[in-house]
Amino acid sequence: MSPLMRVRHFVARQYVTFPCLREVFSIRPGLSKTNILGSVMNKKLTAMSALSLVLSMLFVQSSYAEDTQAVPPATEPSTNSQPAVPAAETSAGTTAPAQTASPAAEAGKGGETKKMLGEVVVTSTTIDDRFESKRGEASNISNISGKKVDEEHGKNIVDVLESIPGVTAEVQSGDSVKIMLRGVEAQRFMGEKPGVAIIIDGVPVVERTGRVNIDLDNIDSIKVIKGGASYLFGEDALSGAVIITTKRGAKMAGYTTSVETGSFNYRKGLARAGFAKNEWVGHIQVSKAMSDDFYDQGAWSRRYVDGKLQYLVDESSDIAFGFEDSHREKDSHGTVTGVTNALIDPRSATSGGKDYARNYDVELNKLNLTYSKDLGDNTNLMLMTYQYKDHTYGWQGPSGYLRDSAGNLLGDMSEMRDVYASGQDTKQTQRGLKSEWRKGGEEVGLMAGLDLQKFEDHGVSTYLVNYSSRSSPIGVSNPLKLAGTVSSDTVITNDTRAVYGEAKWQLSQPLALTLNGRYDNIKNGYTNNLPVTAPTLASASKTFNVLSERIGLNYAVGESSEIYSNISNGFRTPTASQMYGTTISPTSVVAGNPDLKPEKSWNKEIGLRGKRELLGTTLDMDVAVFQIDRNDFILNTGGQYTTTEGATATNGLEQYQNIGGVRNRGLEAGIKTDSRDALSADFAYTWLDARFTRYDHYWLGLGEQYSFPSTYHLVEVNNTGNVVPRTPKHKVNLNVRYRPAEHWTVTTELNAQSGIFADEMNVVWVGGRSVYNLMMTYEVKRESGMKFSAFARIDNIFNRYYYSTIRGIRDSNGDQVYDQEDPSITVNPGRVWTAGLSMVF
């Protein structure tokens, strides 16, 4: 049977089993003419992707028949005569090992275990998680080595991820960032989850603010999977996953010290010690960094203590214990209101701007224990248990009217820089158990996994001052809130039980089929620890059962290129506030909706990657086109971050429903050359068109709601068809490295993007920007293993003025008009320099 007939028969058998096939090849009943047209266009895109793949297969089939040397070998000669196998991807971002070598034998090689299927690198998680090859993958992925992370000398992970097409990120301060892929969730900024699964050493990490704090000095590799990825990682992988593996192995043996300094009194120090002796391998690392920062009240500091201890049980198994303890302090992020204030007061020192939240104190603790065992016959087993804790305290609520204990008015809190309404104390605990079994064969690779998670978020909010919401006299409609009063004490839980798996078939020498599936049973719970009266709920819970899947094809076009295509999805379950609204928060005007469904994203993509020679230089290229549809995302009936006119707790004018629609389409292209050459470069380009396909009601507030309520009013806006805010249509990153002499490297970088809208109404437009960076490094290695290096880096070398963030939702200055003077803006610090020295011995 021909490869095409085998695919046709197999897909036909799976049509009922995999809903993603029904999503593509059917039009749902009840659609309007407009939606039917959109659905037809959607099917055309999918059909074009499939047609491109089929035509490419037919086009190259003859070349395989004529030139058997171009066919990737089915097996690779092996000294132990074990068969090579297709790799099954794992939720840790690794691939199933064809044969796991002795951990003890590999420890001296940096902990790397490899087998080859043609050009596919199959890497074992027993010793080390590395992602050196994309060969055979059905999805668009990008890999960054820990060496490259170290060589970037960045202050946060954004400096590293800029080189990956499709990645956008928002920096708060220090190393706290919110990572987004393909423009998904760019419209949200109030601490929601980012729509990207952040995986550290195989475990999804959830932090309180939706952001992630990562120790750049402890990264061994980064893998970015784009497109819906809940088939491996579960909840919130709407647009993909960022998989981080921390440093481990015998390569960490020895001692490392480094110091850095820079603009705004930036200082950093690091010390690391590692060993490899007999069956034991381990290291510990301590680092501390601090800065006064560009922004007034923007000082921050961070301290890390992390490491790993590994015991090689025997030639086929090992146990690894990893830990991280960090403490961060950070204050204001430096926001101002409007473009005029941004120009005259970029540091937010004199214009009276206040962040909604500030003065954060964050403690994170991460522990994990992993056991890996090679069971023989190309089979591997991994068991992991972990515990992550996040304790965050900060001020919230910059607005209100300060009072004394008797209720006498003392002033407007919005004009008092250090007066905030509440202190929010939150303790998160995440515990889990994870197991994966993997088996390979000559034509089939299999992986099966079990994922058990328990998540708890205990938040206590306490009034910091005596205040009221309005300036009017104290009364029933404007109660006095006394300092020290606990205003909320809630516990949110999320218990997950999931099974997942992957099967990869080598249907023919050039063609591989990959199927993934994951079933999540998630119980979301809510408990109010304060006394309540009806109709307020003291507790509530709901269970969701969600199936996620991926189907993908990979077709090898010769020895160095391949076409890949897949359909996958991601999901997110409703939050407690979305489901229960006013029934758990008496001050809310949002009616509860316990019937909310999990929102889903559907990703369709086709791409081509491979290597080509140009003027004697090898180019590593990857080009993909994609479309992500979310036709049921959860949205307030009155719009996001706003209030419907006349809404009360009882009339139901506001409610969260599965009524939002958004489509993200784009093209991503990446080209790299060998960084070891005297002249090398990396190029990343993204074209993105992200638009709301269903967003009928948004209430825009005009005027001053509390000071002059009589003139305050709402205007209804239909955002359907608008561009998603903060999503540039074009984005380019270009890195050029030049080695003028032995030991020296000069790197130039260009980051450029086109303009963006600051708001969902598409009223305020911000022009594009081009920013240039420059870095010079000097490195000397001795035969003894000693290494000395120094670097100097200048970011924004031409001191380009631009906004790091801009967000608009209402008439903030109360002048009855929404325009460029209303968005909240953070101005980029401008030219910043960093320099450092390090020594390894």
Inside any domain, residue 106: no
Cα within 13 Å of Cα(584), Cβ side: 24
Inside any domain, residue 12: no
> Which pLDDT belongs to residue 61?
38
Least confident of 61-70, 179-188, 772-781: 61-70
For the record, the structure tokens of 378 come out as: 């190309």
Strand partners, 431: 387, 454
Instruction: Say if residue 751's pLDDT is above 70.
Output: yes
Cα within 13 Å of Cα(549), Cβ side: 16
Give residue-wise pLDDT tens across range 593-652.
899 999 999 999 999 999 988 888 899 999 999 999 998 889 988 888 877 777 776 777
Cα 232 to Cα 245: distance, rounded to the nearest angstrom: 16
The amino acid that residue 543 corresponds to is T
> Which pLDDT belongs to residue 824?
92
Instruction: Say if residue 279's pLDDT is above 90.
Output: yes
Cα 514 to Cα 502: distance, rounded to the nearest angstrom: 7
Instruction: Say if residue 28's pLDDT is above 90.
Output: no
> Which pLDDT belongs to residue 134?
65
**CA end-to-end span of the chain:** 60
Least confident of 91-105, 212-226, 441-455: 91-105
Inside any domain, residue 551: yes
For the record, the structure tokens of 73 come out as: 């070998």
For the record, the structure tokens of 472 come out as: 């009017």
Decide which of 9, 35, 70 is a domain's last residue: 70
Helix (H) or strand (E) holding 326: strand 317-330
CA 259 from centre of chain: 29
Cα 422 to Cα 393: distance, rounded to the nearest angstrom: 11
The amino acid that residue 253 corresponds to is A
CB contact burial 189-206 (16+ within 10 A = b; e otherwise): beebbbbbbbbbbbbbbb
The pLDDT of 347-354, averaged and rounded, is: 83
> Which pLDDT belongs to residue 209?
60
Cα 337 to Cα 810: distance, rounded to the nearest angstrom: 11
CA angle 145, 164, 231 (to 5 degrees): 85
User: Mean pLDDT across the chain, nearest whole number?
Assistant: 83
> Which pLDDT belongs to residue 186?
85
Cα 450 to Cα 202: distance, rounded to the nearest angstrom: 12
Cα 521 to Cα 527: distance, rounded to the nearest angstrom: 20
> Which pLDDT belongs to residue 208?
60
Cα 94 to Cα 89: distance, rounded to the nearest angstrom: 6
Inside any domain, residue 568: yes
Residue in this structure with the two tokens 């522990």, named with its chain if needed: 367
- Parallel, antiparallel, or unpaired for β 832-840 and 713-717? unpaired
Percentage of the chain lying above the pLDDT 90 cut: 59
CB contact burial 148-181 (16+ within 10 A = b; e otherwise): bbbbbbbbbbbbbbbbbbbbbbbbbbbbbbbbbb
> Which pLDDT belongs to residue 51?
39
**Residue 305 burial (CB count, 10 A):** 16
Cα 184 to Cα 604: distance, rounded to the nearest angstrom: 14
Cβ neighbourhood burial of 54 (10 Å; 0-12, 13-18, 19+): middle
Cβ neighbourhood burial of 837 (10 Å; 0-12, 13-18, 19+): middle
Give residue-wise pLDDT tens across range 652-673.
778 899 999 999 999 999 999 9
Instruction: Say if residue 97's pLDDT is above 70.
Output: no
> Which pLDDT belongs to residue 678?
92
Instruction: Say if residue 374's pLDDT is above 80.
Output: yes
The pLDDT of 25-34, averaged and rounded, is: 36
pTM of the model: 0.82
Least confident of 22-26, 350-354, 429-433: 22-26
Cα 805 to Cα 189: distance, rounded to the nearest angstrom: 10
Number of compact structural domains in the chain: 2
Cα 795 to Cα 775: distance, rounded to the nearest angstrom: 8
Cα 179 to Cα 212: distance, rounded to the nearest angstrom: 8
Instruction: Say if residue 111's pLDDT is above 60.
Output: no
CA angle 361, 365, 366 (to 5 degrees): 145
The pLDDT of 362-368, averaged and rounded, is: 94
Cα 575 to Cα 581: distance, rounded to the nearest angstrom: 10
Report the sign of the C-alpha dihedral through residues 352, 770, 800, 176, in that order.
positive
> Which pLDDT belongs to residue 586?
73
Instruction: Say if residue 36's pLDDT is above 80.
Output: no
Q: Read off the DSSP letter of residue 99.
A: S
Residue 675 confidence class, pLDDT cut points 50, 70, 90: confident
The amino acid that residue 817 corresponds to is V
Give residue-wise pLDDT tens across range 476-535.
989 999 999 999 999 999 999 999 999 999 999 899 999 999 999 999 999 999 998 877
Provide the residue range defining the domain that includes 33: 23-70
Choice between 68 and 570, residue whose per-residue pLDDT is larger = 570
The closest of 637, 546, 667, 521 to 600, measured between CA atoms, is 546
Inside any domain, residue 194: no
Strands (E), 184-316: 197-200, 203-204, 212-213, 219-226, 240-246, 254-262, 266-277, 280-291, 300-314
219-226, strands of its sheet edge to edge: 141-145, 219-226, 240-246, 197-200, 203-204
Choice between 206 and 627, residue whose per-residue pLDDT is larger = 627
Mapping DSSP onto H, E and C, the string for 666-689 reads EEEEEEECCCCCCEEEEEEEEEEE
> Which pLDDT belongs to residue 29?
35
Contact of 600 with 239, CB cutoff 8 Å = no
> Which pLDDT belongs to residue 232?
94
Percentage of the chain lying above the pLDDT 70 cut: 82
The amino acid that residue 122 corresponds to is V
> Which pLDDT belongs to residue 27?
35
Cis-peptide, bond into residue 574, ω within 30° of zero: no
Cis-peptide, bond into residue 740, ω within 30° of zero: no
CA 496 from centre of chain: 20
Any idea what the CATH number is for the domain that residue 522 is in? 2.40.170.20
Cβ neighbourhood burial of 144 (10 Å; 0-12, 13-18, 19+): buried
Choice between 38 and 600, residue whose per-residue pLDDT is larger = 600
Inside any domain, residue 188: no
> Which pLDDT belongs to residue 136?
80
Inside any domain, residue 187: no
Give residue-wise pLDDT tens across range 301-323.
999 999 999 999 999 999 999 99
Coil, strand or helix at 338: helix
> Which pLDDT belongs to residue 558?
83
Give residue-wise pLDDT tens across range 214-258.
888 999 999 999 999 999 999 999 999 999 999 988 888 999 999
Question: What length does the chain have?
Answer: 841
Choice between 580 and 260, residue whose per-residue pLDDT is larger = 260
The pLDDT of 736-763, averaged and rounded, is: 96
Contact of 622 with 607, CB cutoff 8 Å = yes
The closest of 802, 840, 5, 87 to 441, measured between CA atoms, is 87
Instruction: Say if residue 23's pLDDT is above 70.
Output: no
> Which pLDDT belongs to residue 485?
96
**Residue 819 burial (CB count, 10 A):** 14
The pLDDT of 387-399, averaged and rounded, is: 92
Decide which of 39, 70, 101 is a domain's last residue: 70
Cα 181 to Cα 164: distance, rounded to the nearest angstrom: 10
> Which pLDDT belongs to residue 133?
57
Inside any domain, residue 15: no
The closest of 602, 695, 511 to 61, measured between CA atoms, is 511
Instruction: Say if residue 835's pLDDT is above 70.
Output: yes
Contact of 325 with 818, CB cutoff 8 Å = no
Instruction: Say if residue 26's pLDDT is above 50.
Output: no
Instruction: Say if residue 784's pLDDT is above 50.
Output: yes
Contact of 24 with 46, CB cutoff 8 Å = yes
Give residue-wise pLDDT tens across range 454-486.
999 999 999 999 999 988 999 998 999 999 999
The pLDDT of 712-736, averaged and rounded, is: 94
